Structure 1
């Protein structure tokens, strides 16, 4: 997310239409799509959790960053969301992009994008990061979910402002370092030291891991937990390069070489982003003629409808007809589920949860929201463990092990009811 200045425009509830649509969530809050009445176009509103008010204060004193490859920030939101009229909330008003992130693209394609697009994404991320570093700004959380995509699949760096501001807070507490939402897999070995102060080489290392993820379509280190990954990275282990056929296309060998240079154990040996962008520009030039075919290929493989999000299926943000169809389909799915589950016993609901454990761990992202709805069924200690677990998969695994397994049929049935209400399409697909 781009940073804000003291002169940044303030946007209030009165400036926005009442129809807000939730499109994603992250470590700092939830993201909504809303139409600005005066501007006449959609914006993204990221409402911040209550515990990051100090981050907003510090972010407001930073200069505005504007770049083609960095998500644009329009202002600060202060007001009452339509779903919460009694509480004033703060947030950031951002550019709305309609194709999700590299992470959601990988998920929807069930693998990496075509190589011409992969090379372009690698180049555009390098350009965006070079732009930030030239302005003495760091990202500190570069990963697939923080590289958003516009309708033409061009890269937009996001979530860099608050991650930089927040790093000084969690750097003083080793346990809270685990709260970076899965980011530990993209952290350099020196960052696992207690006294580490982040420098630009941090971002370069993360970029090397990101390149591997873009080309392979995979998450580095699989489902390995924080402690194992920290040990492996510190001992020099890196993502498996055997998964990349370097002879498959021109430029892959050079890109793999760039990865290895970026994730070098010695921070001083890692290249600057200006050098990285020079390499990626040369590599992309070899595949630029194939980019239109690659984009068309991706479009034909994506779901026909969905909602932009870092956690859900992407869509075209301004297609009103598609949105109406989507809402009708969702409503229909909810109606069907309501009818079908009226006759389901708690035992049947519990069986559904047990039978689909693996799929639910992989697919459910907003675990904390579910834990909150389960209320007293989730023990306070368990809630803290889930909250401190960095990935949604890990959070779901903890919820299963600590609450659903021991809670029996009653808790599993309650969990099922929440899924049915919040994720009807997922429940339908698994039924």
Structure 2
């Protein structure tokens, strides 16, 4: 399911998801009753007791740290149990849908209101919305559950804030903060359209800001225990707030490395993510790729930001991915060198190195970008440059 907030729309959600308001707004049904509430509390308490027991037992273990033992025990708990233990299960009656923002594979994204806040509600499509196979439905559901599972435990200024979810009853719903600036893809396309089709290259200060913010988000994710790999970085999943600051969204395809295999062998799913920004090792179905796939994607995103157009915009994405993996295809660095200089071009080039081991870590990327930023002139952004 796409994490973008692109596209205007007033299409009403399916009546099974609302109280029947055809205007595109309404309350979500499915709040738990008193008996269900008590059952959730009981299960949550059992989960917490098991965590405490695991913690006590792990203190004498010579093989695993207490934190690893706790995580392993806790991650086995069902999502709806964790939602009660972590207190992020929401009442559907409190969520008021305001209008459709967009949709992706298996999911719909709505602008909504919750406890006085503008929020984004992501929910699964129903059969009435779109006839689907059982496999397609299961994949869409698994992606949304994965996003809830990952986001519910993360807090960082450059990650879209998770506010809660409805995991009891149908449809499954996740609530995130509303990013009024939309996604980076739509922003750059709109700017290009406003210029009569010519690429819009943001000023160096904004290139620096967005690049550093994305690098910091990856630095946080990649240094989590266990490591979190986003696996679907692209401009449509990078959201802007009203001040033009960037946050990473859509964790439906993200991967948490198996806690027992962080330092050993693990298998990853090939061809996962968006083709245009896909690392060669992912396209080639290498089962042992790691977080450096996100660094590859970031290099292409940095190029997009600096130049103002998609890499190989007129070439089908699957062709781009194939040639990048088998022929070493990469965008020309000449436009970047001409506007931002050789240092930024070198940083970008390092990100998409064919050898994943020679790509910088996210931490190294933050340092390199901040060092480059010291040489960027401290100019004032043009009025309304970012969010208009």
Which TM class, normalised by the smaller chain length? 0.5 to 0.7
The CA distance in 1 between the partners of 2:348 and 2:147, in whole Å, is 31
Are 1:155 and 2:255 an aligned pair?
A: no
Is there any run of 5+ residues in structure 2 with no aligned partner, and where?
4-74, 126-136, 193-199, 259-266
Assess if the C-alpha contact under 8 Å between 1:46 and 1:91 holds in 2: yes
Question: Per-residue CA shift, 1:14-40, capped at 9, x if unaligned?
Answer: 1123x421112234522111111xx21
* 1:268 match: secondary structure: helix
Are 1:269 and 2:345 an aligned pair?
A: no
Q: Which residue of 1 aligns with 2:343?
A: 254
Q: Which residue of 1 aligns with 2:228?
A: 137
Q: Which residue of 2 aligns with 1:243?
A: 335
* 1:289 match: secondary structure: coil
Assess if the C-alpha contact under 8 Å between 2:215 and 2:366 holds in 1: yes
What does 1:188-203 correspond to in 2, within 5 Å? 188-203=279-294
Assess if the C-alpha contact under 8 Å between 1:105 and 1:113 holds in 2: no
Are 1:48 and 2:124 an aligned pair?
A: yes
Assess if the C-alpha contact under 8 Å between 2:100 and 2:110 holds in 1: yes
Q: 1:164 aligns with which of 224, 247, 254?
A: 254
The CA distance in 2 between the partners of 1:288 and 1:28, in whole Å, is 45
Q: 2:173 aligns with which of 67, 71, 91?
A: 91
Q: 1:20 aligns with which of 89, 98, 110?
A: 98
Q: Which moved more, 1:98-107 or 1:19-28?
A: 19-28
Cα offset, 1:165, TM superposition: 4.6
Cα offset, 1:60, TM superposition: 4.9
Residue 104 to residue 226, structure 1, CA distance change in 2 (3 Å) = closer
Assess if the C-alpha contact under 8 Å between 2:148 and 2:174 holds in 1: no
* 2:202 match: secondary structure: coil
The CA distance in 2 between the partners of 1:53 and 1:236, in whole Å, is 35
Assess if the C-alpha contact under 8 Å between 1:116 and 1:288 holds in 2: yes
Number of positions where the alignment pairs a residue of Structure 1 with one of Structure 2: 277
The CA distance in 2 between the partners of 1:44 and 1:128, in whole Å, is 20
Give 1 or 2: higher helix fraction: 1
* 1:256 match: secondary structure: helix
Cα offset, 1:247, TM superposition: 4.0
Question: Per-residue CA shift, 1:86-127, capped at 9, x if unaligned?
Answer: xx3112100111001111111111122222111110111101
Residue 76 to residue 108, structure 1, CA distance change in 2 (3 Å) = same
Assess if the C-alpha contact under 8 Å between 1:189 and 1:230 holds in 2: yes
What does 1:246-325 correspond to in 2, within 5 Å? 246-249=337-340, 252-287=341-376, 289-290=378-379, 292-294=380-382, 296-299=384-387, 302=388
Assess if the C-alpha contact under 8 Å between 1:35 and 1:42 holds in 2: yes
Cα offset, 1:163, TM superposition: 1.1
Q: Which residue of 1 aligns with 2:88?
A: 9
Is there any run of 5+ residues in structure 1 with no aligned partner, and where?
81-87, 303-431
Residue 166 to residue 30, structure 1, CA distance change in 2 (3 Å) = farther
Q: Which residue of 1 aligns with 2:32?
A: none
The CA distance in 1 between the partners of 2:184 and 2:148, in whole Å, is 28
Cα offset, 1:256, TM superposition: 0.7
The CA distance in 2 between the partners of 1:297 and 1:164, in whole Å, is 32
* 2:369 match: secondary structure: helix
* CA RMSD of superposed structures (Å): 2.9
